[in-house]
Amino acid sequence: MEEKPFAHAARALSSDHGLRILSLLKNGRWRIASEVAHTLGIHTSTASKWLYELHRGGFLARRTRKAGTRKAYEYRLGSPHLTLELDLAESETPLEASLIFYTDFVTHAIELARRLGWPGLDKEILARLEAARNDLKEYIFAGIPKDGPLRTVDQLKRLYGQIAAEIRDLCTKTMGEMAASDLVESAYEEASEGKEELVRRFHLNKPLGVA
């Protein structure tokens, strides 16, 4: 289980009603919220809320029950044996490793521009990135922690696709399309050294426009 569903499941189980609801549903019968509420002596909206949370946490199956024109969700426990697993290797590492890869890419691009010798090109790239993405640092560092907006590798790829496009555009205007492509490709090669498997698995090259 990844971090987000795990957090939902843990929250639902640690609530006042989570385990009581699961115990009630352990016989495998489908129940709607009002039935659960009546049996446990709690308000229907409370039962409805925690049934939903337990469903999001992956403990309960859910289906729609139709009664005339009215519809309601009914829930049941799939198995009385519950397992809760958190795979940090699957949930955290790809995002963090991808961020390190992309940060390396930008660092290498700026360093190559400096070593290339075009006066001020490295500083121009930095200035362009700051102007175009002045919220970049905040976006990344506030975005990755829990409940931040940057939750997936795909979101990161979209962001760095824009950054790579900015670098490529500036270099093309300075020294032509082919040299710009060479610089981007060289920066990509340097950044992906030792991270080939990560790059291949998540197609991290694609947003950079390199094969």
Partner 1 sequence: MGNERASTGIAGFDRLAAGGFSRGTINLVGGPAGSGKSLFALHFAYHGASDVGEPALYLVLEEPRANVERVMSMFGMDLRPLEDRRVFFLIDLGEIRPGGKDRKAVVGFDELQDFLKTTLPKTGAKRLVVDSLSAVGPYYPTPEDFRERMFSFSRFLRNAKVTTLLVSEAVEGEGLTRYGVEQFLADSFVYLGLEEIKGELRRTLTIRKMRFTRHDTAKHPFHIGTAGVDVLADEKVI
Nearer to partner 1, 38 or 173 (CB): 173
User: How far from 148 is each of 7, 89, 139, CA to CA, in Å?
Assistant: 14, 19, 9
Q: C-beta of 130: minimal distance to partner 1 in Å?
A: 23
Q: Say if residues 77 and 26 touch (Cβ distance below 8 Å).
A: yes
Nearer to partner 1, 35 or 182 (CB): 182
Q: Say if residues 157 and 206 touch (Cβ distance below 8 Å).
A: yes
Q: Say if residues 128 and 69 touch (Cβ distance below 8 Å).
A: no
Nearer to partner 1, 29 or 200 (CB): 200
Nearer to partner 1, 72 or 126 (CB): 126
* Binding site residues, partner 1, CB under 8 A: 112, 115-119, 172-179, 182-183, 185-186, 189
Q: C-beta of 181: minimal distance to partner 1 in Å?
A: 8
Q: C-beta of 50: minimal distance to partner 1 in Å?
A: 56
Which tokens hold the place of 200?
């291949």
Provide the 3-class DSSP secondary structure of residue 92: coil
Q: C-beta of 118: minimal distance to partner 1 in Å?
A: 6
What's CA 116's distance to the chain center, in Å? Answer: 36
